[in-house]
């Protein structure tokens, strides 16, 4: 995908999990990367070190995606360093797995702040600061297609992300910018594994057509396609990357 050479990509939440692999894969394709994190500074620096050791270009920038001033500063840092932003991946997210009756107002506020307001603030910056023919890829989840108990509020945040994606695609399409969301299925990261028994993990793995959970690389390759010139005619879509889970 040589069309990515020289592009500048901000990947929110790329200190760990899917985002960290995606940052490294975009760098291998020749993108200059902004590795964003909120608290995991050492992990973010390690992602930058891995990229630079492989001949790539990256900086780490601390920013809480739920903070308007932090999101503006994240774009400022990218433009100060590289002169432009071509690709925004709104990957940062958190999960809360609780029955609705057990979900507190604090849980609700926190997850909507990061998963929905974080994406909204990224889109607001992208609306005026992304290059022509830029790319926005937002992270939803395949649980919006299922009715899994304990996923109520988490899946509600992702449903909001999918709808923002569809509307925003129409708002920026005139500048050649594409806007899509990706819906991973269960993927081998802390966010999915935390608090789950081996039995639960195997049960969820067996729900996919391919009989396993995803790896971050399975998701990264689809984001790379959406970020590339090859996906110029794909916009306003939600793409499942879930091994047939849903």
The residue (of 3 and 159) whose beta carbon lies closer to ligand NAP is 159
Among 56, 134, 152, 184, indicate the residue that binds ligand NAP (CB under 6 A).
Answer: 184
Q: Is 152 among the residues that bind ligand NAP (CB under 6 A)?
A: no
Which conformational region is residue 135 in: left (phi greater than 0), alpha (psi within -120 to 50 degrees), or beta?
A: beta
Residue in the structure block whose two tokens are 């990218």: 78
Binding region for ligand NAP (CB under 6 A) out of 97-105, 125-133, 168-176, 181-189: 181-189
CB of 100 to ligand NAP, least distance (A): 18
Q: Is 187 among the residues that bind ligand NAP (CB under 6 A)?
A: yes
Residue in the structure block whose two tokens are 């849903």: 246
- Residues contacting ligand NAP: total by CB under 6 A: 30
- As a whole number of angstroms, the distance between CA 18 and CA 12 comes to 11
Q: Is 165 among the residues that bind ligand NAP (CB under 6 A)?
A: no
Contacts of 51 (CB under 8 A, 6+ apart): 23, 24, 27, 33, 35, 57, 58
The residue (of 134 and 216) whose beta carbon lies closer to ligand NAP is 216
Secondary structure in 3-state letters for 93-160: CCCCCCCHHHCCHHHHHHHHHHHHHHHHHHHHHHHHHCCCCCEEEEECCHHHHCCCCCCHHHHHHHHH
Please count the other Cβ atoms lying within 10 Å of the Cβ belonging to residue 236: 15
Scan residues 28-67 and list those touching ligand NAP (CB under 6 A): 36-40, 64-66
CB of 132 to ligand NAP, least distance (A): 27
Contacts with ligand NAP, residue ranges (CB under 6 A): 12-19, 36-40, 64-66, 91-94, 114, 139, 141, 184, 186-187, 189-192
Q: Give me the active site residues, please.
A: 154
């Amino acid at each position: 995908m040589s069309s990515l050479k020289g592009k500048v990509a901000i990947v929110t939440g790329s200190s760990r999990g899917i985002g960290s692999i995606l940052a490294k894969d975009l760098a291998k394709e020749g993108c200059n990367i902004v590795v964003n994190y909120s608290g995991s500074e050492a992990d973010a620096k390690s992602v930058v070190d891995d990229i630079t050791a492989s001949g790539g270009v990256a900086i780490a920038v601390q920013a809480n995606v739920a903070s308007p001033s932090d999101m503006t500063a994240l774009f400022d840092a990218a433009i100060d360093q590289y002169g432009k932003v071509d690709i925004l991946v709104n990957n940062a997210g958190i999960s809360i797995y609780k029955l609705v009756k057990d979900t507190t107002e604090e849980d609700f506020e926190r997850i909507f702040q990061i998963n929905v307001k974080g994406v909204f603030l990224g889109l607001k910056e992208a609306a005026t600061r992304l290059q022509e023919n830029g790319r926005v890829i937002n992270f939803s989840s395949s649980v919006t297609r299922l009715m899994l108990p304990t996923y109520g509020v988490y899946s509600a945040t992702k449903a909001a992300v999918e709808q923002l994606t569809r509307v925003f695609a129409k708002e920026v399409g005139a500048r050649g910018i594409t806007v899509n969301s990706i819906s991973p299925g269960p993927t081998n990261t802390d966010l999915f594994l935390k608090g789950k028994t081996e039995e639960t993990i195997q049960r969820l793995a067996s729900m996919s057509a391919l009989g396993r959970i995803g790896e971050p690389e399975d998701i990264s390759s689809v984001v790379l396609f959406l970020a590339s010139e090859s996906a110029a005619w794909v916009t306003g879509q939600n793409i499942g990357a879930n091994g047939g889970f849903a």
